[in-house]
Amino acid sequence: MLNVRWREFVGSYYLTLFISGDMPVTIGRDLWGEPKKTGECRLYRDADDMYGYGARNGVRGIQIEARFGEELGPRAVVSNSIEVGLPLTHNAGAAGDPWISIDRIERELGAYREGEGELVLTGTPFDPLDEIPVLSTGLARHYTGKSTLETVLRETIPGKGDEYLPFHLGRSFDKINVGRSPMRERSADVR
């Protein structure tokens, strides 16, 4: 995620999300504007140490390793998520204008810990995460609890659908020309 601003709202904007299951991917991508892709996520804990990763196509694209301090107790946290979506036609064209959604997330945390961590991004042709330079990492946080989400603004940006389309497709969908071509598409001498 990146911290971003839209008008008076400051919040987190997702660069990518690896999620298990087709339904959460479809709902998040098509209804909420999140760049969800089907993947595998794991989190391991050993006392104060934690290691987690998000993988797709057999590659751990996102890896986080952190060491946490003592439990700091329950707390309430409010933040914003800022997403941009675009309705698509059946052949991946812009079916309308992009929209901005500001969602307020209220969390009631039963447990909260802070620490230091390391983030490693590995790229693939489908997920070029290694193109994002990690210059430093901030505070690592681990928490559990419940959260509620409320959309506080959803606004259309008129006349920008075709302009936003390449970014939307690149952020939310795999490049279909990266994988192996179907036999009918290949020349007779390439097999």
What is the pLDDT at residue 138? 87
What is the pLDDT at residue 130? 92
Q: Is residue 152 within 8 Å of 101, Cβ to Cβ?
A: no
Q: Is residue 17 within 8 Å of 28, Cβ to Cβ?
A: yes
Helix (H) or strand (E) holding 22: helix 22-26
pLDDT in tens, 96-135: 999 999 999 999 999 999 999 999 999 998 889 999 898 9
Q: pTM score, two decimals?
A: 0.79
Q: Which two tokens stand for residue 134?
A: 């990690």
The domain spans of the chain are 2-41+69-117+137-176
Transcribe 53-98 into DSSP letters.
EEEETTEEEEEEEEEE------EEEEEEEEEEE--B-TTS-B-S--
Mean pLDDT of the chain: 90
